[in-house]
Amino acid sequence: MKALSIAFKDLQILFKDRGDMFLLFLLPLFFIVVFSGALTAIGQSEESAKALIPLPVVDLDGGDAARTLIDGLNAAGGVRVEHYTNQAEATTLLKDRKIDRALIVPSAMGSDLAAGRTVTLRLVSHPDANAGQTEAVRLVVDGVARDMALEGQILAALRQMGEMQAGESAEYQQAFGVEKTQAQARSQFDQAQARPLIEVKQTVPTQPEQPVKLSSMAEVAVPGMLVLFAFLTAQSTARSIYDEKKIGSFRRLLAAPLSKAALLAGKMLPNFITALIQAVVILAFGAIGLQLLGLKPVSLGSDPLALVLAVVLIALCSVSLGILIAALARTEGQIGGIGTLVTWGMGLIGGSIIPVFVLDQFGVLPKIVPHYWANRALDNLMIRGLGLADVGAELVILLGFTALFFVVGLWKFDFD
């Protein structure tokens, strides 16, 4: 009961401060609108600036046939050829999503064409690549390849006719005159349609994780701002504890039959409730408020229970971080400095500003902060539409951060 009394008293103080109300409930909504609008504008400007679809071509042949193909691609329009000679380099860039697709020209293209063997061009695309652009590229490559194959087969037919007529009598050459040549050409045309010498094979590498498909940038902004501002309540928790220490309340409370852990839990509870209310406001704004503003609303996913559990763990981890900040800071200035550095710094590298699926290419650094796992869990639930079983690892890691922050904070905390 003592812990609940402490929490109730802190909630009364908190809700009387209009500045805190603005920071906790209105500022996140403003950030969502500005953040999603800015990213959408950037995406649209970048898209309009790209008149041609970039097409990295790995030329393993290096001969006349490959050069003819590349020249034909450039002349066809719609694509901009980027030259590569190292297939491993292109594969790495494709895996890291630095390029969306690559056309692989086989090493024996020239010799296979000369011998009448089928040449396979491989168009490899990233799972997240724009499907419409990939199909447009495939059609361009297929058209150029068919024209090139047809030209080669016509030349082969004429060459064959010339060889057959060379050194023969006039009567024999007459037998292979215009009619025979036309028949042979028609046969080659039919063969080109039925069995082209150059075929385009499109492949998409397997990816263990379902790719992110965004319908609007608000889908990234809403969960990102939820996590960022939920963890900002850690600073409020630390400041509240410092105020109790400054006026000497902790010394009097320690005389009561209340453990130190229960006392800190009482200080955590009001900010935990605040973080939950804040999350509800942000999610409601994303699902309903954006639509009222004429913007596309966000989905809350297909598993409400998993979303509620994720929000609860995010709020719990945030207030535990507040206990740790209060234990490390010795002055009110240190609480402000450490709190701002930790909460905003973690938000920056943990996916609240830059989306998690972008940060994944930077290695393990984002994964050392709880924000990353919180954002990853919300992205999987709200954007990918996954369920509780799919975010179990993220939630367990968040719970681990919560326990670590609370235990270390309790160990280092000075009640005097």
- pLDDT (tens digit, 9 = 90+) per residue, 350-406? 988 888 877 877 778 889 999 999 999 999 999 888 999 999 999 999 999 999 998
**What pLDDT was estimated at residue 172?**
46
Greater confidence (338 vs 199) lies with 338
Considering the domain architecture, whether residues 104 and 175 belong to the same structural domain is answered as: yes
Q: What angle do CA 359, 363, 366 make, to 5 degrees?
A: 55
pLDDT for res 112:
82
pLDDT at 306: 94
pLDDT, tens only, 219-232: 888 899 899 988 98
Q: What is the pTM of this model?
A: 0.57
Number of domains in the chain: 2
Does residue 242 share a domain with residue 191? Answer: no
Share of the chain above pLDDT 70, in %: 69
- Which of the pair, 43 or 73, is modelled with greater confidence? 73
Question: Are 24 and 59 within one domain?
Answer: no
208 found inside a domain: no
Domain that holds residue 33: 2-42+213-412
170, 203, 236 — which closes off a domain? Answer: 203
Q: In which element (H, E) is residue 104 found?
A: strand 101-105
The per-type count for the chain, helices as H runs and strands as E runs, is 18, 5
The per-residue pLDDT for range 300-356, each reduced to its tens digit, is 989 999 999 999 999 999 989 988 888 888 777 788 788 888 888 898 889 888 888
Q: Are residues 233 and 322 in the same domain?
A: yes
The position carrying tokens 């690549």 is 129
Least confident of 78-82, 137-141, 144-148, 184-188: 184-188
Distance separating alpha carbons of residues 10 and 267, to the nearest angstrom: 8
- Token readout for 114 is 């000369």
Cβ within 8 Å of residue 268, ≥6 positions away: 237, 319, 320, 322, 323
Strand partners, 56: 82
Decide which of 173, 203, 233 is a domain's last residue.
203
Q: Is the pLDDT of residue 186 over 60?
A: no
Please check whether residues 166 and 288 belong to one and the same domain: no
d(CA 368, CA 364): 7
Residues 272 and 372 in one domain: yes
Tell me the per-residue pLDDT of 211-257, one tens digit each, with 9 for 90 and over.
556 667 788 888 998 999 889 888 878 887 777 777 666 666 666 66
What is the distance between the alpha carbons of residues 244 and 240, in angstroms, rounded to a whole number?
6
Q: Kindly state the percentage of the chain with pLDDT values over 90.
A: 15
